[in-house]
Amino acid sequence: MYVSTGVSLVLWLCIMALPLVQAARLSAACNALRKLGHEIRVRPFGYQDTSREELDSFLLFTSSLNMRAKIFRIPVRSSYLFAIGGAACFTLLLLFQMNVVSVWL
């Protein structure tokens, strides 16, 4: 009885974690693209034969990107996920120590 409940809980947590991890990775990739635009414009050593207008337009494009992954209108970032996960682990550990939640094995 308890084994099937535990397996079901782990399964649903994995199913829920997958979109959150993908959204955090997408937000990180968009932030990296924005930083890349600034770096290319500031130090165009690899793009010396590129015209200044093209570099400016690329900088304008990357600086105007406002791509943040959202799930149910809540922005998803890796720092938010780590903070929520850490708080949940701390709370669960505290509940186990106070014998509010117990596990029968």
Q: What is the pTM of this model?
A: 0.70
Residue whose token pair is 């207008």: 53
Q: What is the distance between the alpha carbons of residues 99 and 103, in angstroms, rounded to a whole number?
A: 9
Mean pLDDT of 57-76: 85
Bridge partners (DSSP) of residue 71 are: 74
- Band (pLDDT 50/70/90 cuts) for residue 67 is confident
Residue 75 parent element (H or E): strand 74-75
Confidence at residue 44, expressed as pLDDT on a 0 to 100 scale: 65
Question: Is the predicted pLDDT of residue 1 greater than 80, yes or no?
Answer: no
b (16+ CB within 10 A) / e for 25-39: eebeebeeebeebee
